[in-house]
A and B are shown apart, each in its own frame.
Chain A
Amino acid sequence: LAKTTQPISMDSYEGQEVNITCSHNNIATNDYITWYQQFPSQGPRFIIQGYKTKVTNEVASLFIPADRKSSTLSLPRVSLSDTAVYYCLVGEDNYGQNFVFGPGTRLSVLP
Chain B
Amino acid sequence: DTEVTQTPKHLVMGMTNKKSLKCEQHMGHRAMYWYKQKAKKPPELMFVYSYEKLSINESVPSRFSPECPNSSLLNLHLHALQPEDSALYLCASSQVRAGGHNEQFFGPGTRLTVL
Binding site for B on A (CB under 8 A): 32, 34, 41-46, 49, 51, 87, 89, 91, 93, 95-97, 99-104
Pick from A45, A51, A96, A103: contact of B33, CB below 8 A: A96
Q: Is there contact, CB below 8 Å, between B107 and A43?
A: yes
Q: CA A43 – CA B48 in complex, angstroms?
A: 17
Report A-chain residues with C-beta under 8 Å of the C-beta of B106. Answer: 42-45
Q: Is the CB of A32 within 8 A of B101?
A: yes
B14 within 8 A of A: no
Q: Which 3 A-B pairs have the closest CB atoms?
A: A43-B106, A101-B42, A95-B31
Report whether B100 and A96 are in contact in the complex, using a CB–CB cutoff of 8 Å: no
> Which B residues lie within 8 Å of A45 (CB)?
106
Chain B positions near chain A (C-beta within 8 angstroms): 4, 31, 33, 42-45, 48, 50, 55-56, 88, 90-92, 94, 96, 100-109, 111
**Contact between chains at A99 and B101 (CB < 8 Å):** yes
Residues of A within 8 A of B45 (CB): 96, 99-100
In the bound complex, residues from chain A placing their C-beta under 8 Å from that of B103 are: 46, 49
**CB distance B108 to A42 under 8 Å?**
yes
**For B109, what are the chain A residues with a Cβ–Cβ distance below 8 Å?**
41-43
Contact of B101 among A43, A91, A103 (CB under 8 A): A91
Q: With a CB–CB cut-off of 8 A, which chain A residues contact B107?
A: 43
**Structural contact, B4 and A49, CB atoms closer than 8 A:** no
Interface centre among B31, B91, B103 (most CB of A within 10 A): B103
Q: A45 to B92, alpha carbons, bound, how many Å?
A: 10
Count chain A CB atoms within 10 A of each CB in B44, B55, B91, B101 and give the residue with the most: B101
- Of all chain B residues, the one with the shortest Cβ separation from A47 is B103
Q: Quick one: given A42-B108, A49-B100, A51-B100, are A96 and B56 in contact (CB under 8 Å)?
A: yes
Chain A to chain B contacts (Cβ below 8 Å), 27 pairs: A32-B101, A41-B111, A42-B108, A42-B109, A43-B91, A43-B106, A43-B107, A43-B109, A44-B90, A44-B104, A44-B106, A45-B106, A93-B101, A93-B102, A95-B94, A95-B96, A95-B102, A96-B33, A96-B55, A96-B56, A97-B48, A97-B56, A99-B45, A101-B42, A101-B43, A101-B44, A104-B42
